[in-house]
Structure 1
């Protein structure tokens, strides 16, 4: 790139490129009112983008230089926002902040080596003490970033492909049984929540009985509760709560489903609907008529964990995991459980299922000696 001074307040930044069909050189230019480090950097970015735009239809791979991690992240997040759900976007955005904090906003992506990425992931494991599942999410964000860079011809290859991750050994993994409650713990927690408020108790029990995510249950409206031709009740899962609003589609494509309801689950819905004003949209609603928020519920669950001396995870999501564990205990096949909870393939669901079924097999082995 070179600079042509047009006047005291006009500087023309010029770059040339070769036409792949004619082998002739062409120019692209951009004009700024100043010639500073910042404007030179911005001019280089603009000119690179112009050249890339002109060459794109030829299918020519022309690796662009001087693209920073910060610039790449902004581009990638802009296109990601149009393709994924709100929470997925926010989670990826949050992870990119951590990535940039370690690698540097101005780090040139062509200079990001496998060894540097390896150091970063070791930092997440050894210093941040993140679980393997979280490490995989950071790896997924990094991989998507670099794949986008290759697509945009900012990189020739993905440096993450050459990183060997030393995941935590199995003894440090979070144990599956810490994710769900046993029968006695479940009874204690539900009694605790019912004492706080019958509505809190209803909501938590409904989560356990159905295996729904918080957002799916909170977004339910009376029209979502129906009965089939034989009179069996079910809930239509077609929405969720995202960023404080009801979204007319659930978390993923697999989340669209009908979930059969037990008599108790149906009675909870009827009691909540009858208690609230007919003007209220949601089955589970606050005194103000809004959907039942998760902040106060999780606050009381944290207090229940302390008061009841429960040494396990205890959030609204725990009821979903407890539902999965109970279905596994009852011998329901894994594929049916996945369909019911709206998971195509989830590590947590698989781990809980395997843990419960192996425990059942062990108990069976112990009892065989009495035959």
Structure 2
């Protein structure tokens, strides 16, 4: 129960209330809340009733002044124990760079829906992946609700604004193509063979012919390749943190997979293995004993950014259609569909946990396949 009393100020007589809020879990002692500044006893009684209801709903007094950053630290301490080091690093970067500077110092129970929408609108002006930031910021609000720190989630109904370029149709009516067609692949591989080192040519060949992620390819060891069975196993991925490299488990169980290799790829791998053996015999102290397929000259793993940098150099020099490293994975899938592979086959080869991911690539299949659709119809109907 609350107790009410009048008190005198320079502005005149005001009302206050005091209320026992129970045991403080940190000190083990009873605690009292005091609220002042009410013009009438009726106002004080209404405020006390609302305050008492908040306490009954779990909004304890020691949670009332928690900032967003304080709640974030509580949430992340638990959440970080359930995720991979690379994911942890990515999440920390998102919060430190954009989320905490905007939310961190604010009391979490005072953050409004309008403010959340304003933040998301601002981020959308400079960040294409603004939805990722909304998802991460929302995790803290969800945790706050779960811990009874807030009653409602102000981020729940926030919408992602469309970027101007998404609202205005491009001249050709389509979106930027992040994959190569067959003729473009052939040209690139010819350039890679003639201008790049044996290692780099093989690296890009594997990315294109297996559709693997760059972290999976850079983490390959020779025992992942079964030359007799003609298969390659992807079961780990390369990760760098604070200048050190680690090999970690892939995101999902389906990412661990063994896929078949064609004879050309096997031949290139055998030639590269022979080259490494000869180099080791000539200088046995040069390389670390890590059994890696791809290394720097000192035997350490290649930087994760290395394939990106090398690809951009070749694209710029030869004025090729610009794609990303991930675009090579998209290219592999598109060409598989062109060759007649089923959606299930492509899903298993790429290690997608959700078939919807494969379907998304299928809907962006190359123009050549779209042209073939009409040809197939014509051929069938004229039989």
For the pair 1:190 / 2:189, whether they are aligned, the reply is yes
For the pair 1:233 / 2:235, whether they are aligned, the reply is no
> Which ranges in structure 1 are unaligned for 5 or more consecutive residues?
1-14, 21-25, 30-58
TM-score by length of 2: 0.73
Query: What are the Cα deviations for residues 130-186 of structure 1, in whole angstroms up to 9, with x where unaligned?
Result: 33xx12211221222211222222222222222233334465699666211112222
> Which residue of the partner structure matches residue 62 of structure 1?
59
> Which residue of the partner structure matches residue 110 of structure 2?
111
> Is contact 1:17–1:27 with CA below 8 Å preserved after alignment?
no
Q: Which of these two proteins has the greater Rg computed from alpha carbons?
A: 2
Query: What are the Cα deviations for residues 103-153 of structure 1, in whole angstroms up to 9, with x where unaligned?
Result: 24211111221111111221222x21x33xx12211221222211222222
> Which residue of the partner structure matches residue 310 of structure 2?
300
> Is contact 2:69–2:100 with CA below 8 Å preserved after alignment?
no
> Which residue of the partner structure matches residue 48 of structure 1?
none
In 2: Cα distance, 1:172 partner to 1:335 partner: 33
For the pair 1:281 / 2:283, whether they are aligned, the reply is no
> Which residue of the partner structure matches residue 354 of structure 1?
363
> Which residue of the partner structure matches residue 155 of structure 1?
150
Paired positions, count:
316
In 2: Cα distance, 1:166 partner to 1:338 partner: 32
For the pair 1:217 / 2:212, whether they are aligned, the reply is no
> Which residue of the partner structure matches residue 90 of structure 1?
89
Query: What are the Cα deviations for residues 56-108 of structure 1, in whole angstroms up to 9, with x where unaligned?
Result: xxx97335211112212222222222111122222211221244355242111
Counterpart pick for 2:346 among 322, 337, 351: 337
> Which residue of the partner structure matches residue 319 of structure 1?
328
In 1: Cα distance, 2:355 partner to 2:98 partner: 25
> Which ranges in structure 2 are unaligned for 5 or more consecutive residues?
1-18, 32-55, 281-288
> Is contact 1:68–1:105 with CA below 8 Å preserved after alignment?
yes
> Which residue of the partner structure matches residue 166 of structure 1?
161
TM-aligned CA deviation for residue 202 of structure 1: 0.5
For the pair 1:18 / 2:22, whether they are aligned, the reply is yes
* Alignment root-mean-square deviation, CA: 3.1
Query: What are the Cα deviations for residues 244-294 of structure 1, in whole angstroms up to 9, with x where unaligned?
Result: 424242233331222222222222322222211464510122221122333
In 2: Cα distance, 1:18 partner to 1:117 partner: 33
In 1: Cα distance, 2:204 partner to 2:239 partner: 19
Please state whether the residue corresponding to 2:315 is helix, strand or coil: helix
